[in-house]
């Protein structure tokens, strides 16, 4: 059985898997913007930008508010924290492995240095 948390992470990582959407999130980190403002740096229609916004919205990464005919978006960082927590496990995993590799390389360098100084 798939847990709700797993489905949420799948949706977040799917949304983050697109460079355009990551750029839109970066723009929103600076403050709220309209869909038109989010589309502006890209060669895309408002309809295409709206599809990206919808993917971000479905992942819970942004909130959209309709003000008259204008759709204003703002960052909702909660799901990013969940993704970061999931990735942190692997960060610890790789940090531990890299620490072991560093230790082994230092030991190897120390052994090579000793060999080079012996008559």
Phi/psi for 43 (5° steps) reads -85, 75
Indicate if the pLDDT at residue 80 is higher than 80. Answer: yes
Does some domain include residue 15? yes
DSSP E strands in 1-88: the ranges are 33-34, 62-67, 70-75
Higher pLDDT, 95 or 9: 9
**Structural domain containing residue 64:** 4-77
pLDDT at site 2: 44
Q: Taking Cα atoms as reference points, which of 87, 46, 94, 48 lies closest to residue 70?
A: 46
**Residues 77/48, Cβ–Cβ less than 8 Å:** no
The CATH number of the domain where 8 resides is what? 1.10.10.10
Does some domain include residue 60? yes
Kindly report the pTM of this predicted structure: 0.72
Residue % of the chain over a pLDDT of 70: 90
Indicate if the pLDDT at residue 43 is higher than 70. Answer: yes
Total number of domains constituting the chain: 1
- Split at pLDDT 50, 70, 90, the class of 1 is very low
- Average pLDDT of the chain is 88
């Amino acid at each position: 059985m798939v847990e709700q948390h797993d489905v949420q992470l799948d949706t977040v990582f799917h949304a983050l898997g697109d460079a355009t959407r990551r750029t839109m999130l970066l723009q929103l980190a600076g403050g709220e913007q309209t869909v038109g403002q989010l589309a502006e740096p890209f060669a895309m229609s408002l309809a295409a930008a709206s599809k990206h916004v919808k993917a971000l919205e479905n992942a819970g990464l942004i909130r959209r508010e309709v003000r008259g005919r204008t759709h204003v978006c703002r960052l909702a960082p909660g799901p990013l924290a969940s993704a970061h927590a999931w990735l942190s496990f692997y960060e610890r995993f790789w940090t531990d492995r890299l620490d072991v590799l560093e230790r082994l390389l230092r030991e190897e360098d120390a052994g090579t240095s000793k060999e080079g100084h012996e008559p």
